[in-house]
Chain A
Amino acid sequence: MSLVEVHNISKRFGETQAVDNLSFEVRPGEIFGLLGPNGAGKTTSIRMILDIFKPDSGEINIFGGKMEEEKKKLVGYLPEERGLYQDIPLQRCLTFLAALKGMSETEIAPRLNEYLEQFDLLEARDKKVKELSKGMQQKAQLITTLIHDPQLVIIDEPFTSLDPVNTEMVKDMLEAKRNEGKAIIMSTHQMNQVEELCDRILLIDHGKRVLYGTLKEIQQSFASQDVMVTPLVDLPESIEGVREIRKTNGRYRLVLEKHAKPNLVLKNLINNGTDLVEFEIAVPPLNEIFIQVVKKQDRGGNG
């Protein structure tokens, strides 16, 4: 069963079609990447899932039905617009926000302590929020998102302002949540993080679904007829089935002839007696796919 099912939702603000007939689903135990250029309709889609906006048309099911007050405590949300009460001590702020998620004060205290320790914020607990650094506030915000152990986590750019150590820690946390069977919807522009974390992705542009599927499927569908090899010694000057050899950073990119198969090229290399350290089908980085798709959309949109 999916935790979130989105069926053909559309949303218009005045002249702008923010979301256009969008459908997707999010399953338990996965990190789902919600990608798209600025203004593509990601935040609007998230807000519709959370029932902040109602879609003009279409339907959203969350935990098997419409969004209700009771279900709100099953969701943890880290919005794009970060916000904490600036004028009160950190601990009071986090306790209040956790209480709004339906946690009792006896539940909050030990768990908050755990998180504060984990995020290295114990000493800052009595400071006013506005006195904390940006990174510290970001960590505090993550505590607010996760403290009530939600079944569905929706996070918008979770790694902003985090140093590499904290970035790793948050990544580990998200992976742990996934392994517990929680669903995580992550919206980000950091494609390397998506490649590392996400199981499936949805790329939207101008409110429409452009790419949707597992990361692997998508990358393979964009794979060219190229092969990346790292030999121990230099490559022979010509290889059967290879149209062109390009050397990049100690690796070689082999551009195959039209009907040649990578298997055949590998066989030929081995028959030639070339020792290989690495042989892989060239998969385009997500970053490239993103740019390629969005540019194509824009051309389509303009022409």
Chain B
Amino acid sequence: MAKIWQIIKYEYMKHVFHKRFLFSLLSLPIGVLAMFGVAFLIGRFSVDRTPVGYVDHSGILQNSTREEDSSDLFDPRIELITYQSEEQANQDLTDGNIQAFYVLPKLYPQILDVDLIYFEEPSSEIQSQFRDFVSFNLATAENIDPLVKERLSDGSVINMESLDGSRNMRQDQWYLILVPFVAGVMFVIVIMTSGAYLMQAVVEEKENRTMEIVITSVSPNQLMTGKIIGNIGVGLTQLVVWLIFGWIGLKVAGQFWPILQDFSLPGDYITVILLVFLPAFVMIAAFMSAIGATMTELKEAQQVQGLISLPMMVPFYIASSIIMNPNGTLAVVLSFFPLTSPLTIIMRMAFTVIPTWQIATNIAILFAFAIFSVWFAGRAFRMGMLRYGKKLSLKEVLGKGAVNE
């Protein structure tokens, strides 16, 4: 156990205390931050925040109040200025003190017709702010129960629910669906990263020709256990750091969009993620070590690695067809194929209810494949570990009696 611990420590420190790791660690949150930054700047500066004026001949805005401030960073509230006459308003519009003004005619409550005077049409966000303002005060004028008034100004929210009642989603929380999706993609990235590190760790033993010294000190099983745990540790460190960044991000963003504060991952979703990713990780780790053991140089190994990592990411590239038709043939087939199934299942789960038999079969296939890949990697490792400068062919690994046991 002490030796395994030494290997874990060595593998972990080797990556975590490397500049490259810090870079890959920070690149995602910085990238996300930059994206939000750009979106924020666009939201903030693309909207003209010059006040909007109104002339109310109908009198319904006489003792006007505005709804509690529900504006956010992307949709800042603009000032509304009341004018007694069109002339005054026109003057201010010409002077550039306001960007537009509304005129509510005397018969507004009957005809519900409003004029908007401008040089350049105000953005839809600004028009909807004025619309909300009018409907809020219209309700006040009609002397409606405050609760009804609130409901009236909130409008209707459609709450969709799956037939079996296991899933539901509010219309105004559509982006919560992205959370499991993002979590799934993050898991895949962690698996791929850990797998790549693991492959590197194995091929390095060959490149450095240290394998012979190491396996006369520890057993191949201890060596691989240590390497796998050490490199999962690296991947998990990455995940935890990202989650911390994400959590801080959500807390900060929650200040501006309160709705983000009540996001959560459903329990069954977490269970399925774990059941899918446990065998998936073992499978990837085994394949990566097999590649590491059969190749002679890191560069070569990285090329072959694509054979595993590309299919893994296929569902991501064709995400739109899976999302549009999460129970279609393509999505179902991809969830049966071991390399594409982890990401496909995660995506489908975010957008539909997958039949239980399918999930069970997919997970069973993944587990079976994980066991096969460990067996395969064991053979490749025993045969390839002492072959310096010579590749091992697939035929040799699968051939009979090839392993010296």
Report A's interface with B, CB cutoff 8 A.
47, 50, 52-54, 69, 72-73, 75, 77, 79, 81-88, 96-97, 99-102, 144
Whether a CB of chain A sits under 8 angstroms from the CB of B212 is yes
Chain B stretch 358-405: residues in CB contact (< 8 A) with chain A = 386, 388, 404-405
Which chain B residues lie closer than 8 Å to A50 at the CB level? 216
Name B214's contact: one of A47, A75, A82, A100 (CB within 8 Å). A100
Contact A96 B10 (CB under 8 A): yes
The CA of A189 and the CA of B313, in the complex, are separated in Å by 54
A64 to chain B: closest CB distance in Å? Answer: 19
Which chain A residues lie closer than 8 Å to B207 at the CB level? 86
Q: Using CB atoms, name the residue of chain A closest to B217.
A: A100
Which chain B residues lie closer than 8 Å to A81 at the CB level? 209, 212, 388
Contact A73 B217 (CB under 8 A): yes
Contact A54 B405 (CB under 8 A): yes
The CA of A290 and the CA of B386, in the complex, are separated in Å by 29
A95 to chain B: closest CB distance in Å? Answer: 10
Majority secondary structure of chain A interface residues (helix, strand, loop or mixed):
loop
Which of B204, B216, B388 has the largest count of A CB atoms less than 10 A from its CB? B216
13 contacts between A and B (CB under 8 A): A52-B212, A52-B215, A53-B404, A54-B404, A69-B219, A69-B222, A73-B217, A79-B212, A86-B207, A87-B204, A99-B3, A100-B6, A144-B213
Contact A52 B216 (CB under 8 A): yes
Whether a CB of chain A sits under 8 angstroms from the CB of B173 is no
Which chain A residues lie closer than 8 Å to B6 at the CB level? 96, 99-100
Which chain A residues lie closer than 8 Å to B103 at the CB level? none
Whether a CB of chain A sits under 8 angstroms from the CB of B171 is no
Whether a CB of chain A sits under 8 angstroms from the CB of B208 is yes
By Cβ-Cβ distance, the 10 closest A-B pairs, closest first, are: A83-B209, A100-B217, A83-B210, A79-B212, A99-B6, A81-B209, A77-B216, A50-B216, A83-B208, A53-B404
Which of A52, A72, A97 has the largest count of B CB atoms less than 10 A from its CB? A52
Which chain B residues lie closer than 8 Å to A69 at the CB level? 218-219, 222
Contact B212 A102 (CB under 8 A): no
Contact B218 A100 (CB under 8 A): yes
Which chain B residues lie closer than 8 Å to A83 at the CB level? 208-213
Which chain B residues lie closer than 8 Å to A47 at the CB level? 386
Q: Using CB atoms, name the residue of chain A closest to B211.
A: A83
Contact A72 B212 (CB under 8 A): no
Contact B209 A72 (CB under 8 A): no
Name B386's contact: one of A52, A77, A85, A97 (CB within 8 Å). A52
Whether a CB of chain A sits under 8 angstroms from the CB of B322 is no
The CA of A243 and the CA of B204, in the complex, are separated in Å by 65
Known A-B contacts A69-B219, A100-B6; the reply to A77 vs B214 at CB < 8 A is no
Whether a CB of chain A sits under 8 angstroms from the CB of B7 is yes
Which chain A residues lie closer than 8 Å to B213 at the CB level? 77, 79, 83, 97, 144
Whether a CB of chain A sits under 8 angstroms from the CB of B14 is yes
Which of A54, A88, A99, A100 has the largest count of B CB atoms less than 10 A from its CB? A100
Whether a CB of chain A sits under 8 angstroms from the CB of B2 is yes
Which chain A residues lie closer than 8 Å to B388 at the CB level? 81
Given A85-B204, A97-B210, 13 other A-B contacts at CB below 8 A?
A52-B212, A52-B215, A52-B216, A77-B216, A81-B388, A83-B210, A83-B213, A86-B208, A99-B3, A100-B3, A100-B6, A100-B214, A102-B3
Q: Using CB atoms, name the residue of chain A closest to B388.
A: A81
Contact A75 B212 (CB under 8 A): no
The CA of A47 and the CA of B10, in the complex, are separated in Å by 26
The CA of A53 and the CA of B382, in the complex, are separated in Å by 9
The CA of A262 and the CA of B217, in the complex, are separated in Å by 53
The CA of A51 and the CA of B10, in the complex, are separated in Å by 25
The CA of A73 and the CA of B219, in the complex, are separated in Å by 12
The CA of A239 and the CA of B210, in the complex, are separated in Å by 62
Name B218's contact: one of A52, A72, A88 (CB within 8 Å). A72
The digit string for B209-244, where 1 denotes a CB below 8 A from any CB of A, is 111111111110010000000000000000000000
The CA of A73 and the CA of B3, in the complex, are separated in Å by 11
Known A-B contacts A73-B217, A97-B217, A101-B217; the reply to A85 vs B3 at CB < 8 A is no
Contact A72 B210 (CB under 8 A): no
The CA of A144 and the CA of B209, in the complex, are separated in Å by 14
The CA of A73 and the CA of B218, in the complex, are separated in Å by 9
B388 to chain A: closest CB distance in Å? Answer: 6
Q: Using CB atoms, name the residue of chain A closest to B403.
A: A54
The CA of A101 and the CA of B211, in the complex, are separated in Å by 14
Which chain B residues lie closer than 8 Å to A52 at the CB level? 212, 215-216, 386
B5 to chain A: closest CB distance in Å? Answer: 9
